[in-house]
Amino acid sequence: MFRNFKKSSSLDYSFITFLVVLVIFGLVILTSASSDLSKARFGDSYYYLKHQILFGLLPGLAGFFAAFSINYQNWKKWGVWLLAGSVILLLLVFTPLGFKAYGSERWLSIAGVGFQPGELVKITFIVYMAAWIGKSQSRSKNLKEGFIPFLILSAGVLIPLILQPSTTIAVLILAAVLAMYFTAGAKIRFLFSVGAIALFAVAALLFITPYRMERVLGFLNPDSDPLGKTYQINQTLIAIGSGGLTGVGYGRSTTKLHYLPEPIGDSIFAVIAEELGFIGSVALIFFFLLFVWRGLAIAKVAPDAFGRLLGIGFMTIIGLQAFVHIGANSGLIPLTGVPLPFVSYGGTALAVFLTMSGLMVNISMKR
């Protein structure tokens, strides 16, 4: 798979193949996970699938081919403007243009089209930080010129996300830019400083927001309130356990309509495990690993620091988000509302991840 990788300037067909498999699998499993829900809510078994294609896949393909066609190095000069625009959109969710859904003010409606600005920040902040860090090696090693500005920039972008609240998205973005920052050569004491600040912030959030504390307590004792705060994790574990080795069969999940909260979003891995079993679940995880592995291979041989950092940031956020979703559904980590990349329902997220992938393909062509 890696033979003559450095010498080639053609498309990276392995990366594209893994991407296509994940996207097609996502549409296929979404069809099953959403059919009953779509029928019950809209009288159309394919409503959510059509919506995903129209507002996720098609914009995502446009973003993919645009990112693939334009030299990725041009994104350096656009980074600050893209980030500024996405932060403005992020702040607009707190105005009358924003609307609340599922208990959070994460959505913005412009010209009748709803989307999540927080998803856009995933790509714009990584692009900006890759350009900012890659411009000077001293920024990853110097306290005043590098680390302190890094903290200020991160806080300015991530605090609005936490206020929505989109805490998990903020943590994922921070993890991605930290991976970029320390790959560039930052001192290890900076890492411990960020870790201490993050732990303090998490502890403060748990203290001032009871629902976050309830999630942690529910994770530690899942039997404490099976009809209340631990209902979702118990139902996901029941669905996963019901799948056994080979699953109950595609489209035959019995939990996705009446029992499983958010079967098309935060709990879609449970539907996968129930219908396709342990074998299907492991196969999906394997393709995610291959996708991230190949992406990191592209980043490793990128021709410049900007391309290398972009690849590391994109693959970190996709890989970590997949891990958090699967881990939360499996009871490995506290429950959190994070969709599964390329699979869960959500047009903005799919479009953003496809655009990231287009940039990765462009980087691979310049190796």
Q: For residues 218 and 172, give the distance between their C-alpha atoms in angstroms, rounded to a whole number.
A: 22
Residue 233 falls inside a structural domain: yes
Average pLDDT score over residue span 228-255: 87
Q: Pull the structure tokens for residue 283.
A: 């196969």
pLDDT at 350 (0 to 100) = 96
The strand pairing partners of 115, in sequence order, are: 108
- Burial state string for 195-222 with b = 16 or more CB within 10 A and e = fewer than 16: eeeeeebeeeebeeeeebebbebbbeeb
pLDDT at 224 (0 to 100) = 66
Q: Which of 25-34, 224-233, 234-243 has the highest mean pLDDT?
A: 25-34
Q: For residues 138 and 305, give the distance between their C-alpha atoms in angstroms, rounded to a whole number.
A: 13
The strand pairing partners of 98, in sequence order, are: 108
pLDDT at 103 (0 to 100) = 54
Backbone angles phi, psi at 109, to 5 degrees: -120, 115
Please give the biggest Cα pair distance in the chain. 59
pLDDT at 228 (0 to 100) = 64
Q: pLDDT higher for 55 or 333? A: 55
Record the pTM.
Answer: 0.90
Residue 6 falls inside a structural domain: no
Average pLDDT score over residue span 341-353: 94
Residue 8 falls inside a structural domain: no
Residue 187 falls inside a structural domain: yes
Q: For residues 130 and 247, give the distance between their C-alpha atoms in angstroms, rounded to a whole number.
A: 42
Average pLDDT score over residue span 309-331: 95
Average pLDDT score over residue span 139-144: 68
Whether 216 has a pLDDT exceeding 90, the answer reads: no
Average pLDDT score over residue span 132-138: 78
Average pLDDT score over residue span 283-290: 97
Average pLDDT score over residue span 155-161: 88
Look at the block and give the residue holding tokens 């996720």.
56
Whether 104 has a pLDDT exceeding 70, the answer reads: no
Average pLDDT score over residue span 299-313: 93
pLDDT at 186 (0 to 100) = 73
Q: Which helix (DSSP H) or strand (DSSP E) does residue 341 occupy?
A: none
pLDDT at 2 (0 to 100) = 38
Whether 3 has a pLDDT exceeding 70, the answer reads: no
DSSP letters for 7-20: T--S--HHHHHHHH
Q: Among 179-183, 292-296, 350-354, which stretch is predicted with the lowest mean pLDDT? A: 179-183
pLDDT at 294 (0 to 100) = 96
Whether 260 has a pLDDT exceeding 80, the answer reads: yes
Q: Is the dihedral of CA 324, 329, 334, 335 positive or negative?
A: positive
Q: For residues 122 and 177, give the distance between their C-alpha atoms in angstroms, rounded to a whole number.
A: 10
What radius of gyration do the chain's Cα atoms show? 20
pLDDT at 110 (0 to 100) = 72
Whether 8 has a pLDDT exceeding 70, the answer reads: no
Q: For residues 166 and 215, give the distance between their C-alpha atoms in angstroms, rounded to a whole number.
A: 15
Whether 4 has a pLDDT exceeding 60, the answer reads: no
Whether 29 has a pLDDT exceeding 90, the answer reads: yes
DSSP letters for 298-345: HHHT-SSHHHHHHHHHHHHHHHHHHHHHHHHHHTSS-----PPTTTSS
Residue 2 falls inside a structural domain: no
- Burial state string for 13-25 with b = 16 or more CB within 10 A and e = fewer than 16: ebbbebbebbbeb
With bands split at pLDDT 50, 70 and 90, how would you rate the model's confidence at 131? very high
* 337-346: pLDDT as tens digits: 789 999 999 8
Q: Looking at the 3D structure of the chain, how many domains does it have?
A: 1
Q: Is the dihedral of CA 105, 61, 4, 303 positive or negative?
A: negative
Whether 7 has a pLDDT exceeding 70, the answer reads: no
Average pLDDT score over residue span 22-38: 94
pLDDT at 364 (0 to 100) = 92
Residue 3 falls inside a structural domain: no
Whether 160 has a pLDDT exceeding 50, the answer reads: yes
Residue 338 falls inside a structural domain: yes
Domain that holds residue 26: 13-365
* 48-79: pLDDT as tens digits: 999 999 999 999 999 999 999 999 999 998 98
Residue 4 falls inside a structural domain: no
Judge contact between 213 and 206, C-beta under 8 A.
Answer: yes
pLDDT at 20 (0 to 100) = 97
| Closest by CA position to 352, among listed 35, 105, 86 | 86
Q: Pull the structure tokens for residue 241.
A: 């356990």
Judge contact between 224 and 217, C-beta under 8 A.
Answer: yes
With bands split at pLDDT 50, 70 and 90, how would you rate the model's confidence at 102? low
Average pLDDT score over residue span 210-225: 69
